[in-house]
Structure 1
Amino acid sequence: MPKAIRIYMRAMDRISNYVGILAMYLIFLMIAVLLLDAVTRNLINIPLHWCVEFAQFTLAAYYFLGGPVTLKDDEHVRMDLFYASFSRFGKHRMDLATLPFLLFYLVVMMIGSWSSLKYAIETDERRFSMWNPSVIPIKALMLVCIVLMILQTVSLIFKHIEALRTKAFAE
């Protein structure tokens, strides 16, 4: 495997790990905001209207940011009916056969999220609520995370090709 591709794969793994750590800490932020909401609403009778919506945005960010590291660590949901019985070589072949479908899906998602972000920027789109927050930051984050998932998927394709090549040379 060329050195540039190896550097790319290591860089994507490192970026995915950092993004995953950021996602992990978002849970603590969400817990703190929901705890603040519960205390202010129930103990001092001052409801903060932004807390629940902020927690929803934080949860959405958590899911988006968790995508690349979930792909990297092979922790995503998969139909294991047949896959679990495959050899390591068979699993690499199956993953290599199915990753282009994931890549196609993510590219379609990226196009849709780009269109959605562009619309949100042009119209200054906001949630219709008492807090009335802009949706531009969460839509921008969604686009960035989908791009990171595409880059991680390409890295996985290279990894599976490398695993199949080394297996073929070992035999």
Structure 2
Amino acid sequence: MPPLIKGFVRVVDAVNYRLGRIVMYGIFVMMGILMWSSISKTFFLPSLWTLEMAQFAMVAYYMLGGPYSLQLGSNVRMDLFYHDWSNTKKAWFDAFTVLFLMFYLGVLLYGAIDSTTYSLKYNERSPTAWRPILWPIKITMCVGVSLMMLQAMSEFFKDVARIRGKEL
């Protein structure tokens, strides 16, 4: 494989690995928000912001942790026949199917950018009583989808290298 592709794979994998290791602690942020929600509903006046903030934290956790999950191969896979295949056949299958993932992510990114542009232009707010601005979470979604697209490309290059009998 050319040095440019090797460098791309190395950088994308390093960024997504480090970010994934940080973001995985976001579950504790969510737990803290939901615990405060329970405490405030039980002992004080209920907080308006807790449910929506927990949803925002979950979106950030999911979108920024997805590339890390893909990198580690911990995504859900229908393993009816796959586990019996040789590594080369798995690489062929993965290289083919990751193209569908990249198409889907491209469409998703197009919609996310369009929605984020609208949100920034009109300072869009949530229709709830709390009314937070929505562009920060939409930017987070765009970043997460972009990183997932880059990780999918990295996985594609690794599969092609595996087909050729090399490792990246």
TM range (shorter): over 0.9
1:155 and 2:154 equivalent? yes
Deviation at 1:135, TM superposition (A): 1.1
Deviation at 1:4, TM superposition (A): 2.1
Structure 2 equivalent of residue 141 of structure 1: 140
Deviation at 1:82, TM superposition (A): 2.3
Deviation at 1:70, TM superposition (A): 1.2
Deviation digits for residues 44-66 of structure 1 (CA, Å, limit 9, x no counterpart): x2221111110111011111011
> Distance between the aligned counterparts of 2:78 and 2:41, measured in 1?
44
Q: Which amino acid in 2 is paired with 1:40? A: S
> Distance between the aligned counterparts of 2:69 and 2:101, measured in 1?
14
For these two proteins, the number of residue pairs brought into alignment is 166
The question of whether the paired residues in 2 share the 8 Å contact of 1:22 and 1:65 is answered with no
Deviation at 1:22, TM superposition (A): 2.5
Deviation at 1:85, TM superposition (A): 2.2
Structure 1 equivalent of residue 91 of structure 2: 92
1:114 and 2:113 equivalent? yes
Q: TM-score, normalised by structure 2?
A: 0.93
> Unaligned 5+ residue runs, structure 2?
none
Amino-acid identity (%): 39
Structure 1 equivalent of residue 19 of structure 2: 19
- Note the 1:58-137 alignment, pairs <5 A: 58-137=57-136
**C-alpha root-mean-square deviation of aligned residues, in Å?**
1.3
> Distance between the aligned counterparts of 1:136 and 1:25, measured in 2?
23
Which sits farther off after the overlay, 33-42 or 51-60? Answer: 33-42
Q: TM-score, normalised by structure 1?
A: 0.92
> Distance between the aligned counterparts of 1:29 and 1:99, measured in 2?
32
> Distance between the aligned counterparts of 2:73 and 2:90, measured in 1?
12
Moved over 4 A (4+): none
> Distance between the aligned counterparts of 2:125 and 2:77, measured in 1?
35
Q: 2:25 is paired with a residue of what secondary structure?
A: helix
Q: Which amino acid in 2 is paired with 1:148? A: L
Deviation at 1:160, TM superposition (A): 0.8
Deviation at 1:113, TM superposition (A): 0.6
> Distance between the aligned counterparts of 2:31 and 2:109, measured in 1?
30
Deviation digits for residues 138-170 of structure 1 (CA, Å, limit 9, x no counterpart): 111111111111111111111111111126xxx
